[in-house]
Amino acid sequence: MAGADVVAIAEAVREREGAEQARDAYWQGQVDHRDDAMALIDRDGRTLSTTSAFDTLVGAAPWSGAADEQARIDAALGRATARVAPAAAAVRFRRGGDTLILIVRPIPWATRLLHAPAGVAVATLLAPNRRPAPAPQLWQEAFELTPAETTLATLLMAGHSLESAAAARDCRPATLRVHLRHIFGKTGVSRQSELVALLGRMGRG
């Protein structure tokens, strides 16, 4: 084999490896430090890569065992992976005892040109009935919560009201209202629902 051929082959290998690294970097950038249930979808609607949270909800089985639901899922995937004018799509379906919401978003053309990812869309699964795992240590570090405030935040994240949290702590609701006002001041929110949403976005501890 001529020297020029060897050089050409070596350059082709390097280019291919570089493209693969770019694809890997794109997907890794999407899922690093996240607990979201996400999957990279190719042009034919097939799943290429998944996060562990996605595997927990769906795994390797079909999205849904119900034919009508699977048809709606296929339609959503088809809309987001269309060759012409792809668009985001969402569909709700049942799996086991859970209600899941699938959101599929096409990867922007500019991103695809820059990174050349193997997939053309990213799917995200939401499980409205599943509460996020609490991360009390992160809450304490981020907002300088006291142990009592952290305990109250954990109870609120578990679905307690102030009254039921007071019963669980064997204290008066008025005491917890004071703690809650302090938590609001430290976190910058003003409503209990906003607090739960904020803490939930911080993921697992």
- The per-residue pLDDT for 9 is 43
Domain covering 3-126: architecture:
2-Layer Sandwich (3.30)
Quickly name the fold that domain 136-201 has.
Answer: Arc Repressor Mutant, subunit A (1.10.10)
Per DSSP, helices labelled H in 32-161 are 52-57, 67-80, 109-115, 136-143, 147-157
Measure CA of the first residue to CA of the last residue in the chain; give whole Å.
Answer: 57
Backbone phi and psi for residue 133, each to the nearest 5 degrees, phi listed first: -65, 135
Tell me: the pLDDT tens digits for 140-191? 999 999 999 999 999 998 889 999 999 999 999 999 999 999 999 999 999 9
Tell me: the pLDDT tens digits for 64-110? 878 899 999 999 999 999 999 999 999 999 887 788 999 999 988 88
Assess contact for 92 and 24: CB atoms under 8 A: no
- Domain ranges within the chain, ordered by starting residue: 3-126, 136-201
Question: Going along the chain, which residue ranges are E strands?
Answer: 37-41, 47-50, 89-95, 98-106, 121-126
Confidence band of 33 (pLDDT split at 50, 70, 90) = very low
Confidence band of 200 (pLDDT split at 50, 70, 90) = confident
- Residue 11 pLDDT more than 60? no
